[in-house]
């Protein structure tokens, strides 16, 4: 398993890119097992860094596309004959085009930078039709919010928007000491599989509705969502004598459809 170089040419992690390099072989093995790559899978890795996860993946796949913003790391990765290197900001990457070029839906993996993990999740949500599954290492508290059940403190906008479109599970806990440098938070790996037949709804409308509902999450919905629904001209019935966190995903989706 490749380790981080310790000579004068070693890559210095860059704070602005949120770089924390995975170095624990047991954790790397656990992640690869969870992903279960197969030869011929069209896989894209976001932020491969020093290739700790990249190498065992490409050994099983034969070929792997990687998205890397750091110019120095991208140059190193290009030396690997089995990698297709996309040097770009992941938030600008067209995953549909990558899937079209591959001729099949993508399996997307990565140790996501904590400072932009939520924008990346929403960027992929907008192109979910191009995705077969996703396995991401994220801050543990972000994954807790993603998979949260209604009527819990972690349940919020992220829970609703992602659960509408994906079946998700927390598959692996990752402690700070598995990284160099160690982050100040616990991490975990989440599996995200798009629902085969999701409820058909305008995603922008659903997002606006959920944002309005959770804008004052400690108050009853009649204070925040009520005025918003009125402004939309909604004349149907919806129980506003609840807090936002008490409403299941299916009810938010049904309300967005009714609008």
132 and 207 in one domain?
Answer: no
Whole-number Å distance between alpha carbons of 86 and 66: 6
* Residue 10 lies inside a defined structural domain of this protein: no
What is the mean pLDDT of the segment spanning 25-39?
A: 95
* Residue 37 lies inside a defined structural domain of this protein: yes
Q: pLDDT class for 20, splitting at 50, 70, 90?
A: low
* Boundaries of domain holding 217: 203-258
Average pLDDT for the chain:
91
Binding-site positions for S-adenosyl-L-methionine: 20, 22, 47, 68, 89, 111
254 and 220 in one domain?
Answer: yes
Q: Is the pLDDT of residue 10 over 70?
A: no
112 and 134 in one domain?
Answer: yes
**pTM, two decimal places:** 0.88
Binding-site positions: 20, 22, 47, 68, 89, 111
CATH number of domain containing 215:
1.10.8.100
Whole-number Å distance between alpha carbons of 38 and 42: 9
What is the per-residue pLDDT for 183?
80
Strands of 47-130 (E only): list them.
64-67, 83-86, 106-111
CATH number of domain containing 166:
3.40.50.150
What is the per-residue pLDDT for 2?
38
Taking alpha carbons only, the member of 57, 107, 104 closest to residue 82 is 57
Q: Is the pLDDT of residue 127 over 50?
A: yes
pLDDT tens for residues 166-217? 999 999 999 999 988 888 889 999 999 999 999 999 999 999 999 999 999 8
Last residue of a domain, one of 194, 211, 237: 194
67 and 119 in one domain?
Answer: yes
181 and 53 in one domain?
Answer: yes
Q: pLDDT class for 51, splitting at 50, 70, 90?
A: confident
Residue appearing with tokens 């070929």:
63
139 and 52 in one domain?
Answer: yes
- For the chain, the farthest-separated pair of C-alpha atoms sits apart, in whole angstroms, at 68
183 and 214 in one domain?
Answer: no
Cis peptide before 181 (omega within 30 of 0): yes
The region of weakest confidence among 1-10, 84-93, 191-200, 245-254 is: 1-10
* Residue 236 lies inside a defined structural domain of this protein: yes
What is the per-residue pLDDT for 113?
82
pLDDT tens for residues 109-119? 998 888 889 99
* Residue 215 lies inside a defined structural domain of this protein: yes
254 and 136 in one domain?
Answer: no
23 and 124 in one domain?
Answer: yes
What is the per-residue pLDDT for 21?
80
Q: How far is CA 35 from CA 32, 38, 40, 41, 220, in A?
A: 5, 9, 14, 11, 41
What is the per-residue pLDDT for 15?
44
101 and 32 in one domain?
Answer: yes
Q: How far is CA 252 from CA 148, 156, 198, 224, in A?
A: 15, 12, 13, 14
* Residue 138 lies inside a defined structural domain of this protein: yes
What is the per-residue pLDDT for 181?
83
134 and 237 in one domain?
Answer: no
Whole-number Å distance between alpha carbons of 28 and 42: 20
Which has more pLDDT, 177 or 10? Answer: 177
216 and 107 in one domain?
Answer: no
Q: Is the pLDDT of residue 4 over 60?
A: no
* Residue 144 lies inside a defined structural domain of this protein: yes
Task: Report the domain count for the chain.
Answer: 2
Last residue of a domain, one of 167, 194, 221: 194
Last residue of a domain, one of 177, 194, 211: 194
Q: How far is CA 66 from CA 42, 86, 97, 99, in A?
A: 11, 6, 14, 13
């Amino acid at each position: 398993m490749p380790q981080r170089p310790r000579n004068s040419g070693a890559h210095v992690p860059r704070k602005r890119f949120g770089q924390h390099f995975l170095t624990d072989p047991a954790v790397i093995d656990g992640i690869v097992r969870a992903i279960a790559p197969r030869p011929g899978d069209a896989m894209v890795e976001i932020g491969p860094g020093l290739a700790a996860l990249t190498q065992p993946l490409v050994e099983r796949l034969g070929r792997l596309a990687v998205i890397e913003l750091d110019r120095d790391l991208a140059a190193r990765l290009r030396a690997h004959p089995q990698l297709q290197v996309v040097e770009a900001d992941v938030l600008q990457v067209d995953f549909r085009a990558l899937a079209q070029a591959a001729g099949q839906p993508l399996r997307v993996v990565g140790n996501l930078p904590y400072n932009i993990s939520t924008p990346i999740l929403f960027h992929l949500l907008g192109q979910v039709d191009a995705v077969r599954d996703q396995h991401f290492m994220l801050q543990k508290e972000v994954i807790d919010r993603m998979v949260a059940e209604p009527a819990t403190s972690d349940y919020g906008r992220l829970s609703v928007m992602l659960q509408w479109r994906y079946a998700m599970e927390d598959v692996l806990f990752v402690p700070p000491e598995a990284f160099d440098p160690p982050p100040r938070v616990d991490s975990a790996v989440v599996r995200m599989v798009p629902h085969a037949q999701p409820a058909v709804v305008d995603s922008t409308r659903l997002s606006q509705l959920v944002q309005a509902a959770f804008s004052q999450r400690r108050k009853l919905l009649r204070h925040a969502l009520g005025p918003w629904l009125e402004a939309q001209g909604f004349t149907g019935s919806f129980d506003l004598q609840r807090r936002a966190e008490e409403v299941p995903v299916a009810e938010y989706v049904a309300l967005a459809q009714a609008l």
